[in-house]
Amino acid sequence: MSDADVLLRAEGVGKRFGGFVALQGVDITLRAGERLGLIGPNGSGKSTFVNCISGDFAQHDGRVTLGGAALNGLKPHRRARLGLARTFQLPQPFNSLSVLENVRVPLLFSGQSGSATARAMHCLEQVELAAKAEKLPRELTQVEQRRLELARAIALDPQLLIADEAMAGLSHAEIDQILLLLRRLNAAGTAVIMIEHIMRAVTEFAERLVVFVAGRKIADGEPRAVLSMPEVEGAYLGKQ
Amino acid sequence: MSATEDHVAGRPAIDRPAAALATASRVAPPPRHLLFWLAAAGLGAALVVGLRMIGNEYGYFAGYFILQYIVLASAWNILGGYAGYVNFGAAGFMAAGAYTAIALRKATGLDLLPGIVAAAAVAGLLGLGTGYLTLRLRGVFFSIATLCLAVVLQTLVVNWDYVGGSRGAYIVRPREVPPFVSYGEYMFVVMLVLAILAVGISRTVELTRLGRGLQAIRDNERAAEAMGVPTLRLKLIATTLCGALMGVAGAPLPYYSGYLNPEAAFSLAYAVNAIAMPLIGGAGSWLGPVIGAVLLGGLQQAATVTISSALNLWIVGWMLVIFVAVAPRGILGWFRKRT
Amino acid sequence: MDPDLVLLLNGIVSGLLLGGLYAAAASGLAVSFGMLDIVNIAHPALMVMGAFTVVLIGTTLGLDPLLVAVLQAPLFYLLGIAIYGVYHHFFERRGEEALQGLAFFFGVMFIIEVGLVMGFGPEQRFLDPPYAFTTLRLGEIDLPLRMLAPALLALAALGLLYLYLRRSFTGLAIAAVAQDAEALRLMAVDPVRIKRLAFGISVALASIAGGALVVVQPVEPSSGQIFIGRVFAICIMGGMASLPGCLIAALLFGVVENVTATFYGPSWSPAVAFGWLLLVLAFRPQGLFGKAA
């Protein structure tokens, strides 16, 4: 992979809490526009990795760059402006603000020109929530809250979206809705890292698969090949 | 970074900007700034004319009392109401403003108006410093720090002989300040202008992206940060603004009473009213503190005639507790479905 | 011996005794703030209220103040349970503890302070139990019973609390309730009941600390304000939820404050408390003994 194609480069990323090693020596390189699935059993370090990339952990081992810019030491909001968006395992809306205002917040601080309101409506249309722009987040259904999370992420005009279990607790049809939205976003050029326990979603979406076990990366490659590796089957799928 | 431009250009065309704009204008009416300032100026002028016609010095006294609380409550609301960070140190910031005015007068002879500017600067820096040391942690630590701030400032002032120490300081008041009919009217008008400015500032904060960012912080700080909101910077702006306005509320105090001692400047009444007024009126909206200050300030002003000041404050304390428990959205919350 | 050194030694010893008292005051906060995550800023006000009730009951019945402090603790336990009931019903349950809950405790603190002013007047109150004027001497070091007896009571209360939290099932549940309320529910323990009980204990401790305090020094209704800085600084410095940490921090704090007062005058002691609090928050918010997150 030539350097020009690289969007995200994580080298030797690790994190320990006191004496507990949550993540160790992870190298991941992502091309612009790539769809990566990240799987692993609970506690394997997936969320820790996400928090290292997103800046929620101020300090960790290793180096992370996005589009050539070093992310280490940057606060989450600086990373967001560099084109890094994330969704949360549990939707984290601004509860006292309307759906529209929820999406306006990232636009107001992104430095993009033009009317934040019009752009926010545009984002809401992309996730088919425009009709509920004036509702409060608590008036939305679970899948609508997930779509709101995606609309806020889209508003950041991201180069990379990290979708952290964006489909947990959803029905079959609802999972398809979210998958469709992620595909559209990806078709527009955004690279996606999908962290998911729902294997159907990952295998349908990802063009490459990374597997974490006990804080280490044990596999990285084409999904079918990765899933048939004996150590992956043993460590992860065997327990399902 | 050419990748950004490429993928924006390559995005599938599902744009419907016209429709989006039409919906948008229905959702958010444009803020009417000019109307607000005109209405405020008109109301202020009507108050001055009305009080002059009544011609009673007590009217100016009661008016000053309530207006000073409008400034204080609006200041608290910028940090507490919008961002959800509780400042318990209103008395400390207010006294910092008052003693800045005294010190400036003693050192340079400059009087009230420069004193107000200096008070804003000193109290603003105090807010910034407290915020800078504590705001990287959970919000309660900031609150705890402000809770102690008043006690410490009082210790410093009591030990500071230059501004009178525990004996207090005198400021000789002129009998008349033309073109005002009396010194009381002059002080009233000064506080009136400050109150209009404070409410205007707090309303502007609410309607601009600073206010939206603070609200996002109040609702979910981690998500706000992830959405590109520079949370620490916004909080520091808010603490500075909050402190500065509280200092402004205090600066005229020595000029108003002609004498100030630490006990009066650090009165508990300021600390509790600064919190009770916005919360009872309706925190989170610029109008809430105004309603709370007029209501609670008016009640206290009327009640001092019949009951002791301690009982008066005791009632405010109970009202605060009862309101936050039973009506957490305040009086404004009764009229609005949403916050 | 060098008179300055004697002064310093005596400053340190009475600082340690004072620190024992602070430890009792802060340990209640370590339970409510540290373990239950309830930011009870009215804690020092409740302590001052305890001091006033000790004065009232002690002088009316002619009982020893430290005995009264212990006897009144169950009443304050009930008061704590009532306060927690209101707090839980209106704030914790609704998830509004951050702004409204804090304002609630501020209101409670204010009501107590102004209530004491109305009931007793703003003046200082103090008590002179018969042993107040006896002083033990160890060489050059003075050990006034006026300070030694309250410190011993405070340390005994702290020790009992420590044993209770370490040895009893309920005590262990209290230590666990903030971390993992769900796990408690699975063990068929009602987290709300545990928190109510623990909060009651923390207020009872405040009243014992208050009773001990009024033997050591005069107390006035506004004394709580000075103690806010002290107890929160100690509680945070000790690592929030750790009783041994709390004790060590309190002893250290007592010594620094007392030595400062000995050499620069007692009017500066609130500034010492606040300075410590700010330094701790700015540089070691995880406490003296905690690890960086």
pLDDT (tens digit, 9 = 90+) per residue, B263-320? 899 998 999 999 999 999 999 899 999 999 999 999 998 887 788 888 888 999 999 9
Cross-chain Cβ contact A80/B228 below 8 Å: yes
Cross-chain Cβ contact C282/B84 below 8 Å: no
pLDDT band with cut points at 50, 70 and 90 for residue A3: low
Pairwise CA distance, residues A118 & A116, whole Å: 6
pLDDT for the residue numbered B30: 59
Pairwise CA distance, residues B189 & C109, whole Å: 35
Pairwise CA distance, residues C257 & C276, whole Å: 10
Of the three residues A112, A128, A157, the one that is the final residue of a domain is A157
Instruction: Choose among B123, B94, B117, B96: nearest CA to B250.
Output: B94
- B325-335 in b/e form (b: 16+ CB < 10 A) is beebbbbbbee
What ipTM does the predicted assembly reach? 0.90
- Say yes or no: A78 and A182 in one domain: yes
pLDDT for the residue numbered B29: 54
For residue B76, what are the CA distances in angstroms to B5, B91, B274? 44, 11, 6
Q: Over the stretch B45-74, which tens digit does the pLDDT of each residue have?
A: 999 999 988 888 888 999 999 999 999 999
- Say yes or no: A38 and A14 in one domain: yes
Average pLDDT over residues A174-181: 92
Return the higher-pLDDT residue of A114 and A46.
Answer: A46
Task: Write down the residue that tokens 């078709």 correspond to.
Answer: A187
Cross-chain Cβ contact B27/A100 below 8 Å: yes
| Residues in CB range of B229: below 8 A, 6 or more apart | A77, A105, A106, A109, B213, B216, B217
Q: What is the CATH number of the domain that holds A203?
A: 3.40.50.300
Cross-chain Cβ contact A189/B224 below 8 Å: no
Cross-chain Cβ contact B24/A115 below 8 Å: yes
Q: Which two tokens stand for residue A92?
A: 């984290």
pLDDT for the residue numbered B18: 38
Domains of chain C: 3-283 (1.10.3470)
- Say yes or no: A235 and A164 in one domain: yes
pLDDT for the residue numbered A234: 76
Pairwise CA distance, residues C211 & C204, whole Å: 11
**Chain B residues within 8 A of C98 when measuring between CB atoms:** 84, 139-140
Cross-chain Cβ contact B21/A118 below 8 Å: yes
Mean pLDDT rounded to a whole number for chain B: 86
Q: Looking at the complex, report in whole angstroms how far the Cα of residue B246 sits from the nearest Cα belonging to chain A.
A: 27
Cross-chain Cβ contact C267/B314 below 8 Å: no
- Say yes or no: A39 and A99 in one domain: no
156-195 in A: which are within 8 Å (CB) of B? Answer: 156-157, 159, 184, 187-190
Beta bridge mates, A216: A213
Beta carbons of A119 and A150 less than 8 angstroms apart: no
B44 pLDDT above the threshold of 90: yes
Beta carbons of A23 and A215 less than 8 angstroms apart: yes
By residue count, chain B amounts to 339
- Say yes or no: A139 and A232 in one domain: no
- Say yes or no: A166 and A147 in one domain: no
Neighbouring C-beta atoms of residue B276, cutoff 10 Å: 29
User: What's the total number of domains in chain A?
Assistant: 2
- Say yes or no: A191 and A125 in one domain: no
pLDDT for the residue numbered C56: 92
Which SS3 state, helix, strand or coil, does residue C40 take?
coil
Beta carbons of A126 and A151 less than 8 angstroms apart: yes
pLDDT for the residue numbered B4: 39
- Say yes or no: A47 and A148 in one domain: no
Tell me which of B133, B308, B324, B326 to substitute to probe the interface with C (most C C-beta atoms closer than 10 Å): B324
Pairwise CA distance, residues C233 & C229, whole Å: 6
The CA angle B150-B154-B155, to the nearest 5 degrees, is 120
Beta carbons of C165 and C174 less than 8 angstroms apart: yes
**Chain C residues within 8 A of B159 when measuring between CB atoms:** 267-268
- Say yes or no: A7 and A78 in one domain: yes
For residue B98, what are the CA distances in angstroms to B26, B154, B155, B195? 46, 12, 15, 16
- Say yes or no: A99 and A168 in one domain: no
pLDDT band with cut points at 50, 70 and 90 for residue C207: very high
Whether A68 has its CB under 8 Å from any CB of chain B: the answer is yes
pLDDT for the residue numbered C1: 66
* Residue-range definition of the domain harbouring residue A112: 92-157
Closest CB from A81, A122, A187 relative to B15: A122
Q: Over the stretch A110-159, which tens digit does the pLDDT of each residue have?
A: 877 678 888 999 999 989 999 999 999 999 999 999 999 999 999 999 99
Q: Looking at the complex, report in whole angstroms how far the Cα of residue A237 sits from the nearest Cα belonging to chain B.
A: 32
Instruction: Choose among C30, C20, C80, C27: nearest CA to C50.
Output: C80
Which SS3 state, helix, strand or coil, does residue B1 take?
coil
Pairwise CA distance, residues B203 & C109, whole Å: 31
C247 pLDDT above the threshold of 70: yes
Cross-chain Cβ contact B209/A121 below 8 Å: no
- Say yes or no: A64 and A42 in one domain: yes
**Strand-strand pairing, A35-39 and A191-195:** parallel
- Say yes or no: A7 and A51 in one domain: yes
Mean pLDDT rounded to a whole number for chain C: 87
Half-sphere exposure of residue C178, counting CA atoms within 13 Å on the CB side? 15
- Look at the alpha carbons of C26, C27, C31, C35 in this order and tell me if their dihedral is positive or negative: positive
Q: Over the stretch B93-148, which tens digit does the pLDDT of each residue have?
A: 999 999 999 999 999 988 899 999 999 999 999 999 999 888 877 788 889 889 88
**Residue-by-residue DSSP string for chain A:** --GGGEEEEEEEEEEEETTEEEEEEEEEEEETT-EEEEE--TTSSHHHHHHHHHTSSS--EEEEEETTEE-TT--HHHHHHTTEEEE-SS----TTS-HHHHHHHHHHTTT--S-HHHHHHHHHHHTT-GGGTTS-GGGS-HHHHHHHHHHHHHHT--SEEEEESTTTT--HHHHHHHHHHHHHHHHTT-EEEEE-S-HHHHHHH-SEEEEEETTEEEEEE-HHHHHT-HHHHHHTGGG-
Residue of B nearest to A57 (CA): B222
Instruction: Choose among B262, B58, B113, B230: nearest CA to A109.
Output: B230
Beta bridge mates, A21: A16
Of the three residues A157, A174, A194, the one that is the final residue of a domain is A157
Tell me which of C83, C114, C123 to substitute to probe the interface with B (most B C-beta atoms closer than 10 Å): C114
Q: Looking at the complex, report in whole angstroms how far the Cα of residue B112 sits from the nearest Cα belonging to chain C.
A: 30
Mean pLDDT rounded to a whole number for chain A: 89
Highest-scoring range by mean pLDDT, A86-100, A105-119, C275-289: A86-100
